[in-house]
Each structure stands twice: as structure tokens, then as C-alpha cells.
Amino acid sequence: MRLAEIEAIMLNVGLFVFAGAVFFIIYDLAKKSNAGRFGTFILFFALGLGLAAFLIKTVVVEMIGGGGI
């Protein structure tokens, strides 16, 4: 296995762990602030959009760069 393949795999694993950590932090924030069902939805929606934008940007850059998916 080449170094580039290992780096690609670890990038995907790292992004998955990062996303999980972000969602746990949002959940914990909603729980500690007693946000309720609607407040929790708003927190996940608003803060999750930042993560989604980061992931979409990565995909779009790869597609424009010719990397393909």
C-alpha cells in the first residue's frame, strides 16, 4: 500500500471522526441548555450546516480538480 493510499484512507476516517465529534458536541450543548425538541433541531440544523458546507466544499473541489469521486 502506498503512502498516498494510506493518507486518503486516514483522511476519510478522520473526517468521519470529526463529524461524529461535532454532532456529539451539538447534542451535548442542546442537552445542557435544555433546548427542547425544537431548539435541538435548530442547533443541529444551524451548526450542522457548517459541517455540511465543509464536506460539500471538499467534494466540489475534488470534482473541479479532476479527482473525481
Q: How far is Cα 61 from Cα 57, in angstroms, rounded to an integer?
A: 6
Residue 50: inside a domain:
yes
Condensed to tens digits (0 to 9), the pLDDT of residues 52-63 reads 888 788 788 888
Query: From start to end of the chain, where are the E strands?
Result: none
Q: Which residue has the higher pLDDT, 67 or 57?
A: 57
pLDDT in tens, 3-43: 988 988 898 899 889 889 988 999 999 999 998 999 999 99
pLDDT number for residue 42: 93
In a domain, 69, yes or no: no
Nearest to 8 by CA among 64, 63, 62: 62
Domain that residue 35 falls in: 3-64
Q: Quick check: 66 pLDDT over 90?
A: no
Q: Would 13 be classed as within a structural domain? A: yes
Residue 14 domain-assigned (yes or no): yes
